[in-house]
Amino acid sequence: MTNTTTANTLSQPATGAETARRAMIDSQLRTSGVNEPFVLARMAAVPRENFVPENARDTAYIDRSIPLANGRRMAAPLFYGMILAEAQPALSDTALVVDSGSGYLPELLRPLVGKLDVITPEEAATKSTKRATYSLVLVDGAVEELPDTLARRMDDGARILTGLIANGVTKLATGRKSASGIGLLPLAEMGIPRLSEFDKATGWSF
CATH number at residue 166: 3.40.50.150
3-state secondary structure at position 123: helix
Residue 19 lies in a domain: yes
Residue 5 lies in a domain: no
Distance from C-alpha of 162 to C-alpha of 105, rounded to nearest angstrom: 12
The pLDDT value given to residue 79: 98
Residue 9 lies in a domain: no
Which residue range(s) make up the domain with 18? 14-198
Q: What is the pTM of this model?
A: 0.88
> 79: part of which helix (H) or strand (E)?
helix 77-87
Smallest CA-to-CA distance from 97 within 86, 107, 85 is with 107
Q: What is the pLDDT of residues 118-155, one digit of tens each?
A: 999 999 988 877 778 999 999 999 999 998 999 999 99
Mean pLDDT along residues 62-84: 96
User: Looking at the 3D structure of the chain, how many domains does it have?
Assistant: 1
pLDDT band for position 7 (cuts 50, 70, 90): very low
More confident: 200 or 75: 75
The pLDDT value given to residue 9: 38
Residue 1 lies in a domain: no
